[in-house]
Amino acid sequence: MEKYLSLSGNHSSNKRSLEGLSAFTGLEELILDNNLLGNDLALPGLPRLHTLTLNKNQITDLEGLLDHLAEVTPALEYLSLLGNMACPNELVNLEKDEDDYKRYRCFVLYKLPNLKFLDAKKVTKSEREEALLRGEFMKVVKPKASKDVASVSSQLPYTPLPPGSRSLTSHQGVLGRCHYVYYGKNSEGNRFIRDDQL
């Protein structure tokens, strides 16, 4: 019975199906790096699988993947998703930073609480506690742009003014007087002036 299987670099095949893995029910370690696998990834039930690496694939839907893994790999302890858009880091996307990666780790540990290692880094006790408390809220959600807002914003340049005051001929100004009185209480320079110099 096979316990370890590496299928890295098989992206030359037009059909990237993993249905043949159902014959390996005793599989404990599975390496699927660099295979152009996407959000349609479907693993068969692998009850003994404890190590899974999906590095350098095309996975963007993190929540969908984690829900699928929680269902088909209940014994999973080691997971690596480096090199996927679902794993936010500066190597994949320059717009991401360390905070994005911390939120990602927290959300993954919330969804898969039995993980001991995530992306080649050991899961700490504090990460596990934070995932228990806040992990549910660490999911990154992108707002969907509605067609109405997109069409209006493409026609008009951005302005912070309300629509009624955009015309050059219809404007209202505000004129007021401001009085500032300086008492010198908070001045740092006053502490260096001696009484005999006043």
| pLDDT higher than threshold 70 for residue 187 | no
List the domain boundaries for the chain: 4-137
Burial degree of 72 (CB within 10 A; 0-12, 13-18, 19+): middle
| 77, pLDDT greater than 50 | yes
Q: 177 or 5, which is more confident?
A: 5
User: What's residue 111's pLDDT?
Assistant: 94
pLDDT band at 13 (very low <50, low <70, confident <90, very high): very low
Residues 62 and 39: beta-carbon distance below 8 Å? no
Higher pLDDT, 72 or 177: 72
Given 3.40.1190.20, 3.80.10.10, 1.10.1740.10, 3.40.718.10, which CATH number is that of 4-137?
Answer: 3.80.10.10
- The residue among 69, 62, 114 whose CA lies nearest residue 88 is 62
pLDDT tens digit sequence for 24-63: 888 999 999 998 899 998 999 999 999 999 999 999 999 9
The pLDDT of residue 140 is: 65
pLDDT tens-place string over residues 125-158 = 999 999 998 888 887 665 555 555 555 555 656 6
Residue 132 vs residue 96, higher pLDDT: 132
Write the CA distances from 105 to 4, 110, 132, integer angstroms: 26, 9, 12
